[in-house]
C-alpha cells in the first residue's frame, strides 16, 4: 500500500488551490483530507499551499515551511475560524529523552525535533499575526493510536 498519492476531492469547490493536484504524504493526511472534503462545517481548505519562513537551528538560515493544511470552518452562530494544521507522529512532538550514549538515532530525533520546533514557533507567530489558530494533530487526535 502506498503512503503517498493524489487525493481526488468529491467537493473540489471547497479546495483553495488546484483540486487536481492535491498530494498526501501519509495515510494520516489522506484520512484528514477525506474529513475536510466531506465535513459540512469546512468552508474551504488547502494542503501545502501556504509558505511560512523560519530560521533553522541547524544552520541559522531562513528556510520555507509548508504546513500540511490551511482550513476555514464555520462554527455555530456564523463564527468563521481559520487555522493551520500540521499532522505529525506523537513521538515527533515531544522532546527526545536525553541519553547517556549518543546514537545516530538520538541525533536524528534531536535534529527532527529542533527543526520541527522552529517551524511550529514560526507558524504560531504567523497565525497570531492573522488571528488564526495553529494546531498539531497526531495519530491520537485522529483516533488512529493502537491502544
> Is 129 an annotated catalytic residue?
no
- The pTM of this model reads 0.88
In a domain, 53, yes or no: yes
Residue 66 belongs to domain spanning = 5-137
How many domains, in total, are found in the chain?
A: 1
Considering Cα of 86, then 42, then 18, then 25, what sign does the dihedral take?
A: positive
pLDDT in the model for residue 66:
98
What would the pLDDT profile of 37-65 be if each residue is shown by its tens digit? 999 999 999 999 999 999 999 999 999 99
In a domain, 52, yes or no: yes
Q: Which of 68, 86, 109, 139 is catalytic?
A: 68
Residue 143: pLDDT band with limits 50, 70, 90: confident
Q: What is the CATH number of the domain that holds 70?
A: 3.40.1350
pLDDT in the model for residue 96:
87
> Is 37 an annotated catalytic residue?
no
Query: Which stretch of 41-45, 73-77, 120-124 has the lowest confidence by average pLDDT?
Result: 73-77
In a domain, 144, yes or no: no
In a domain, 32, yes or no: yes
When pLDDT is averaged across residues 13-38 and rounded to a whole number, the result is: 96
Q: How far is CA 68 from CA 32, 96, 145, in A?
A: 10, 23, 20
In a domain, 143, yes or no: no
In a domain, 51, yes or no: yes
Amino acid at each position: 500500500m502506498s503512503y503517498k498519492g493524489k487525493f481526488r476531492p468529491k467537493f473540489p469547490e471547497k479546495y483553495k488551490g488546484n483540486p487536481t493536484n492535491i498530494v498526501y504524504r501519509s495515510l494520516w493526511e489522506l484520512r484528514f483530507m477525506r474529513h475536510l472534503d466531506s465535513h459540512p462545517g469546512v468552508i474551504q481548505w488547502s494542503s501545502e499551499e501556504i509558505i511560512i519562513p523560519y530560521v533553522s537551528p541547524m544552520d541559522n538560515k531562513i528556510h520555507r515551511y509548508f504546513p500540511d493544511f490551511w482550513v476555514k470552518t464555520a462554527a455555530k452562530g456564523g463564527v468563521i475560524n481559520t487555522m493551520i494544521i500540521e499532522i505529525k507522529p506523537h513521538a515527533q512532538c515531544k522532546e527526545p529523552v536525553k541519553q547517556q550514549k549518543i546514537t545516530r538515532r538520538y541525533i536524528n530525533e534531536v535534529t527532527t525535533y529542533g527543526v520541527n520546533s522552529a517551524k511550529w514557533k514560526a507558524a504560531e507567530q504567523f497565525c497570531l499575526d492573522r488571528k488564526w489558530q495553529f494546531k498539531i494533530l497526531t495519530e491520537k487526535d485522529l483516533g488512529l493510536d493502537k491502544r
